[in-house]
Chain A
Amino acid sequence: MENQCSLRNGPEPSEFRQKLKIVMMVGMLALGLLLVRLWYLQVIKGDELRQRSENNAVRFRTIQPLRGLIMDRNGMVLVDNRPSFDILYMPGRGQNHDRVLERIKTIYKTKSLESSIDPSLFKAIRPYLPVRLEKNVGMEKVALIETNALDLPGVYVDITPVRLYLDGEMIAPIIGYTGEISKEELEKSAGEYSSGDILGKAGLERVLDAHIRGRRGAELVEVNVFGKEIKNLGSIDPVPGANVVLTIDANLQKAAWEAFHGLAGSAVVLNPQNGAILAMVSAPSYDPNVFNSGIPFEEWQKLLSNPLNPLSNRSISGQYPPGSTYKLVVAAAALEEGIVTPETKIFCNGTFDLGNRTYRCWKREGHGSVDLHRALVVSCDVYFYTLGKMLGVDKIAHYARMFGFGELTGIDLHHERKGLVPTKEWKQSRLREPWHMGETISISIGQGFNLSTPLQLASAYSALANGGTLWRPRLVERIEWPDNKIFGQYPPVKNGELQLNKQTIAFLQKALHAAVNSPGGTGGAARIPHVEVCGKTGTSQVIALPPTEKLIRDRKISAFHKDHALFIGFAPLKNPEIVVAVIAEHAGSGGAVAAPIAKKILQAYFDGKSATKRPDFALRRLSDGEDPEEKQKSVPYR
């Protein structure tokens, strides 16, 4: 160390001695000041402050806000709030807790009510910390507790708002549910939430939470040792959350839900002119009301372990082989690539040979000589095997992506899945295997690696129906403050444009019209008098079966191996207003199962339209599309 005589160049130590003495004095004064203040508070004002803390304490209480309402496009309320009555207990010092519990039980017994109080709550009791004994109790219990208040020191009723989902099950996969904030969520929330807050846990409740949850209020109340309020010292009112108006039409949603009675699957109904979702069903579903006051563990386990997975929204997270509904894409590709013309005929004898394998048409005896139009109408597999072989998988993939397959649609919900559009490169990189021609054959009728969500199918068919525009599907029409002032509006957004010839689109539209309306068409079951319904059926195989067993399979195979039934359609042919995509899981063939469901939905739509002739202005304002001004705004590019 070179600085042995370190102070030699610096200031004199005596100077520091002087300074340190001053600093020490200042420090002692400062700490002394603290003692003076402590003396003042504890000794001079001690009794007064003790009074305030012991006998009457000032308590800061948060008031939970009302969450915003969720309404359908016509202003019909789907999600409301209701009060939940909880029984609380403020254990004061020197109270006999067991006796209080006993008394509650005795009082309940007079009206033969059972108490659901967990006795273990009483083990960890601390004086003056309120314990929530029972959540969400009925009015009978509330009345009993209130009338016997004198015998129940420290027991009181607390009211908090909870969600009320009207007809919850039919729309739960979209709306989701709410619950008390969890520890992890609280840590992640960066201070916007505090413990005990209710927040959206799934679906739109979660996505829109920031807008609809409102703002906590608070009040300062003087309470006695038993937690009873004596005086309100001031409060900040909670601010209710904003209301949400959905694009959903509740009547249509109900019709779609009922059409699925007993089946598992999904239906997506949307307006092809702007992407507004009119109905979205995922069956089976669940009752979101059970989450309000904490779902019992067994019930939660039951939901989780149900093989039909009621908690998922199949419309956006279910990925299915599209089956014959995919023939639309292959036909568009073949026409655009000039491989066939509408007049090109191919002879279907029921089989298609490739190498040493034989692929069969769904109709064993074959369709005979068919052109492209007829091939779509009767859903001839051999015709599309031929097209697929000529196109190759990558060309098909190109057109599939153009229709929006393999990509997220961008709907405002979590857990949307992308589906899968296979290509040679994908297989090489993912499975490390080269592509086989045989796989292209499966792809061309929507089987094999192909996967798509019901929403993607609806969106693709909408683009065809409206002449070529892919609209982003959306659920939220607008968000408005409780006084009806607009908070946010969500106009249609374009996802893309089909790069197809006008003639191709017109040809495909006509073919889909014929598939429903002409003799021999597979979609005949969706026909509605006086409405030009267009559509395509699909039956997607869940397991590969040799065609020879086809006739007996319905009886021989378990329910989980039956085919998925699909129907995607739109109506009317000119200026289409509605697109319906239906997938019924393990239900059988598209023409026999899915088309009738789609018909019920379409029927409900057109019945509803002729029934309501725009009753009054209020409703008119709440529904979009008909107002010329709004139409101009919502469809800016057309």
Chain B
Amino acid sequence: MIFGIPIQAFAGQLLVGLINGSFYAMLSLGLAIIFGLLRVINFAHGAQYMLGAFIGYLVLAKLGIGYWPALILVPVIVGLFGIVVERLALSRLYEVDPLYGLLFTFGLALVLEGVFRYVYGVSGNPYPVPPALAGGVNLGFMFLPIYRGWIVVASLIVCLGAWLLVEKTKFGSYLRAATENPKLVQAFGVNVPVLLTLTYGLGAGLAGLAGIMAAPVYQVSPLMGSNMIIVVFAVVVVGGMGSILGAILTGYMLGLAEGLTKVFYPEASSIVIFVIMAIVLLIRPAGLFGKDA
């Protein structure tokens, strides 16, 4: 018993919090990467996450392509979709107020959500847990479904990989340099427009990857993205978008905070992240890891 709550329930909710936190981390990471370079808040991030889950669901149902190949295939498709969007539309909006990027991607999110609602309805579709990760283990104090454990591990790997890509590779150093001063980087012979396109594709691909990973945990539904994106926005406000590591950490922390609230005061669990956001705004308006005021 912890504070009068059975330890199984406590650990179970913490695990749920950690799972949610994994998705918050992956999604806010993508948002931060895109925002860092493109100065665009990608409202379609939730829709691209939904798209990832749906493509995974569809290739399984129609083509019999299972979870493991989908883990590669889905991010590539969603990433390519992002590249097309960036080339056709977003690249025309860099010169105007960044708010237009937000509005455009908002429209895109509405269209994507609308199309899937129209074709598949609002009810959720189940996606089976891959056989290799089915079942669970008894940890003594709680029962851990293996797939959930996998999500936590995989999301940590993805976040770490993205962080290494940005901080330790040549591509990453171009990306960081272009974030600081795009004109100068262009003058050094780096093709900045291509870099922008690739970055948006990368961010969208990450959202797609989060989507296919989420498919066996949550129901695959057209509404799964819009429910997620607003919370992720709050996460991004709390973390500040200046640092990639900050976005990742904040994601996990707020997921855990949400899980804890479910244990002690379930009524507030849907709003606790917003409350934390408000408190952070009072104390540190720039966000926990933010440099820009």
**A, B bound:** no
